[in-house]
Amino acid sequence: MARAFGADGIYIAGVQDKPLKNSIGKMVDAWGGPFWLEFTASPLSLLKSWKKERGRVVHLTMYGLPIKDVLNDPTFKDANILVVVGGEKVPWEYYKESDLNVAIGNQPHSEVAALAIFLDRIEAGSWESKSFQDAHLNILPSKKGKTVKQFDQKKKAI
Amino acid sequence: MARAFGADGIYIAGVQDKPLKNSIGKMVDAWGGPFWLEFTASPLSLLKSWKKERGRVVHLTMYGLPIKDVLNDPTFKDANILVVVGGEKVPWEYYKESDLNVAIGNQPHSEVAALAIFLDRIEAGSWESKSFQDAHLNILPSKKGKTVKQFDQKKKAI
């Protein structure tokens, strides 16, 4: 989902979910990339080093500030943004260490939905015209039914 | 999620998931409404009668047409829209009977993400300022942390 709406990649905290990594690899192989997945055993350290060395950090939470606060903040413009998405029990440190805590509405909702809308807004809907590299499958939009075009170009290792 | 982004209610096809109904009821009780959940044993009949009597039907599928086709179609303006969301194996009849098959991008993605972005676009982001009635809990947006305001108004039956 993150890939479809413009993210470059995703870090997963906690256990190394090999089937997830395989399934993302297969998806990128079929539908194109680039898109990466990495596991991190210390997400809070990642967050801190991202802030220091790479860019800005946004934590999505229903308790946060409106998304326009990010969109209107010049320090986020063209920045590399790390988006932190968790469940209900995100530890306090993530609220504290993130550059901004942002709510996609202050109502209960799915984290997947919040991330999708965040990416859509921050990228100004650029997913609508994004093309992926080295795809073996490509959909031709249809009024009814499913039309998929196959490519037999040389496969690239993922 | 559908509630947070502007849907009036949701039909669930298949088995009557009582715990889901209870959890939606509790959410509406706490965070406000109106929002309804109904089960339907015959979703295809519902779709057909919706088209005849109530409004328009959009089926979200990665194989469909761009969302601008809905946004630019005057017959969808101010219409009651039934949004059909399924998994990978949505039967052919839903493609055929829907007024439009719409893709939120022609890339693999979560149905939850697709529905969120669809609602956001079709409602022109009106969820950002939507208020819910008879809420007992309300979030005050915070820079850091969680601030929830409680109301002790008279509870309404759901």
ipTM of the modeled complex: 0.90
User: Considering CB atoms only, which of B95, B116, B141 is closest to A65?
Assistant: B141
Cβ contact, residue pair B103, A147, below 8 Å: no
pLDDT at residue B155 is higher than 70: no
List the single best residue of A58, A62, A130, A144 to mutate versus B (max B Cβ within 10 A): A144
Strands B148-150 and B137-139: antiparallel
Element (H, E) at A59: strand A56-66
Chain B CB within 8 Å of residue A133 CB: no
Query: For residue range A31-45, what is the model confidence (pLDDT) as tens digits?
Result: 999 999 999 999 999
DSSP calls for B113-126: HHHHHHHHHHTTTG
CA dist A106 and A85 (Å) reads 15
Chain B CB within 8 Å of residue A14 CB: no
Query: For residue range B17-62, what is the model confidence (pLDDT) as tens digits?
Result: 999 999 999 999 999 999 999 999 999 999 999 999 999 999 999 9
Local confidence band at A28 (pLDDT 50, 70, 90 cut-offs): very high
Q: What is the pLDDT of residue B153?
A: 58
Q: If you measure CA to CA, which chain B residue comes closest to A27? A: B108
Element (H, E) at B24: helix B18-31
pLDDT at residue B88 is higher than 50: yes
Q: What is the pLDDT of residue B95?
A: 96
Cβ contact, residue pair A64, B31, below 8 Å: no
CA dist B60 and B111 (Å) reads 8
Domains along chain A? Answer: 1-41+125-158 (3.40.1280.10), 42-123 (3.40.1280.10)
